[in-house]
Amino acid sequence: MPNPFSVVPDQVMLLVIIGMIFIFLLVVWLMVFAPLIDFAQHRRRIAQVDQFTVPGYGQTAPPAGAKENPLLQAALAISTVFVRSARTEAAVAARLDRAGMRLRPAQWVLWRIVACVVGIVLFVLLVGPDFGLVIGLVVGLAATGMYRRIRTERRYQAFAARLPDSLQLVVGSLRAGFSLGQAIDAMIREAPEPIATEFSRALATTRLGADLDDALARLAARMRSRDLEWVVIAIRIQREVGGNLAEVVTTNVEAMREREALRRHVRALSAEGRLSAYIICALPPLVIVLMLAIRRQYIMPLFTTGAGAVLLVAAGILVALGSFWMWRTVKVEV
């Protein structure tokens, strides 16, 4: 029985391919340039205040426009089912928070569902319903998960890159006679994101009764900052044995800057290997999409026969293993 999806007009296929290319370029643009956008000061302060709300308070409130849009309200209600568990909701909220995404867990689940639906529709038109459903679902989940991980890693890198200059502001305040808490509070008013938001949260926990060094230790663990962990250790030692805290933090700042310079040097030396990894990992799916566009009948046996399915699965496993090996090779810890 012929596949009804194999008689798609060339114009429709061309529009689908153009739409996929546009969505891909849009996602790449957002991942590259969105973290570099510096929002207005009042928006940053509002975001900081939102971080200190009581867990659960206001979480059920619909986003702007949801009350006027019953379709969006119904979609959010459906997506809430997937994060009904308090533990699941807390885990999703923590991941979104580390990525700097101002979304509630239900909203994030809704975005993933929409991405999966778009992927399923596109791949059903390209390869038919047999494999299009599975491939579209996998692509939708993988694309949204990759976007969140890229946002998280970029936020970690921005925190690590801006930490030395921010701590230098703390050193200046300490030398002027401020306490450590007052110095951090003064630094928050001048520091960029994500330094301001994260240190504001740490300082807010101290106002609720936590020790400052414990709050900074939790901040270092949350942002995976080895440099800040060393600063916390130095602060704790200084509190035990005494000494000049400004000099201690200055020594740590100088060490951070040297490590950052070395880290950038290693990243420049490994740029060629990372670029090769990007190209080799992206080449197989791009070739498949290209062949579906220009020689559909040549590659369709991979999706319509048992032997083709086995070869496709084996190729996917080999590509995943090779990609993992290449990433581990070009990733150098400093």
We report the CATH number of the domain holding residue 230 as: 1.20.81
Pair 245, 182 in one domain:
yes
Answer yes or no: is 16 within a domain: no
- Last-in-domain residue among 231, 260, 289: 260
pLDDT confidence of residue 29: 55
Answer yes or no: is 68 within a domain: no
Contacts of 5-13 with CB under 8 Å at 24 or more apart are 5/124, 5/125, 5/127, 5/128, 5/129, 5/132, 6/128, 6/296, 6/300, 8/125, 12/125, 13/125, 13/126, 13/293, 13/296
pLDDT confidence of residue 267: 82
- What's the average model confidence in pLDDT over 303-320? 84
Answer yes or no: is 153 within a domain: no
- DSSP letter at 305? S
pLDDT confidence of residue 41: 43
Place 334 in a pLDDT band, splitting at 50, 70 and 90: low
Answer yes or no: is 89 within a domain: no
Pair 274, 320 in one domain:
yes
Pair 293, 202 in one domain:
no
Number of Cβ within a 10 Å radius of residue 205 = 17
| pLDDT tens digits for range 96-108 | 888 888 878 778 8
pLDDT confidence of residue 313: 85
Pair 256, 290 in one domain:
no
Range of the domain at 289: 270-334
Q: How many domains does the chain have?
A: 2
- Last-in-domain residue among 200, 228, 260: 260
pLDDT confidence of residue 161: 86
Place 57 in a pLDDT band, splitting at 50, 70 and 90: very low
Place 65 in a pLDDT band, splitting at 50, 70 and 90: very low
- What's the average model confidence in pLDDT over 39-54? 44
Answer yes or no: is 164 within a domain: yes
With a cut of 80, say whether residue 253 has pLDDT above it. yes
Answer yes or no: is 90 within a domain: no
| pLDDT tens digits for range 155-177 | 998 888 888 888 888 888 888 88
Place 4 in a pLDDT band, splitting at 50, 70 and 90: very low
C-beta separation of 234 from 249 below 8 A: yes
Answer yes or no: is 173 within a domain: yes
Pair 279, 225 in one domain:
no
